[in-house]
Chains A and B, each alone.
Chain A
Amino acid sequence: QKEVEQNSGPLSVPEGAIASLNCTYSDRGSQSFFWYRQYSGKSPELIMSIYSNGDKEDGRFTAQLNKASQYVSLLIRDSQPSDSATYLCAARPNAGGTSYGKLTFGQGTILTVHP
């Protein structure tokens, strides 16, 4: 069973702090990783994708990937109350070209940024 694991939280941080969200995956062959943000009652929206080891930055968001440790993280700098949402980690399984783009999702981490 290919799994993606996240700490369900909730994670609470003060406004302006760095929020750190973590994710591990079991399929060592996974190549593509994604972070989605989901506001309550809404559908997930893509924040970041990462494919190579190391860091990838986009504005206040930084995704980090360590394939050796099978670990993906998302850092949110200068957290704002509007960042309060559930963050979903997803991985594309390695199925020898037959995965058809399917993603495996973690259960999500609830983030609350308080003023």
Chain B
Amino acid sequence: SQTIHQWPATLVQPVGSPLSLECTVEGTSNPNLYWYRQAAGRGLQLLFYSVGIGQISSEVPQNLSASRPQDRQFILSSKKLLLSDSGFYLCAWRSRAMRGNSGNTIYFGEGSWLTVV
């Protein structure tokens, strides 16, 4: 079965410090990968998605970047954090092997709580 792992689970970072959140998927190959952010009391905002190694698309201009160095690894980074970067970050995956509507479901990792102080 497929699993997705995300870490760290919680972190508190000062303004201006760097950030690295990592996500790995097991049990599948060539998945679509996504980074979402959820601000307090708000819905999920798609930040980045990737359809393959080295292929990153950004949905929202911001202080963050993403990379996919391996097929099942997705990394979210920042060189200098802002207060507004605080939130709940979620990595998600979708199978590209399943066709039609069944392949549309995305599954989330455990999430990473980021507080910028």
Q: Which of B59-117 contact A (CB under 8 A)?
A: 59, 90, 94, 101, 103-111, 113
Indicate whether A101 sits within 8 Å of B90 (C-beta atoms), given known contacts A42-B111, A88-B44, A107-B43.
Answer: no
Q: Is A34 an interface residue (CB 8 A)?
A: yes
Q: Which residue of A lies closest to B109 (CB)?
A: A43
* B residues in contact with A46, CB < 8 Å: 105, 107
| Interface footprint category on A | 20 to 34
* B residues in contact with A32, CB < 8 Å: 101, 104
| Interface footprint category on B | 20 to 34
Taking a contact as CB atoms under 8 Å apart, the answer to whether A106 and B43 are in contact is: yes
Q: Which residue of A lies closest to B42 (CB)?
A: A107
Indicate whether A101 sits within 8 Å of B111 (C-beta atoms), given known contacts A43-B90, A107-B42, A108-B43.
Answer: no
Taking a contact as CB atoms under 8 Å apart, the answer to whether A88 and B43 are in contact is: yes
State the main secondary structure of chain A at its contact with B: loop
Which residue in B42, B43, B44, B106 is a CB contact (below 8 Å) of A101?
Answer: B106
Cα distance A42–B6 in the bound complex, in angstroms: 13
Q: What 17 new A-B contacts, CB under 8 Å, besides A34-B104, A34-B105, A101-B49?
A: A31-B101, A32-B104, A42-B110, A43-B108, A43-B109, A44-B44, A44-B90, A44-B108, A49-B101, A49-B104, A49-B105, A92-B104, A100-B51, A101-B103, A103-B46, A105-B36, A105-B43
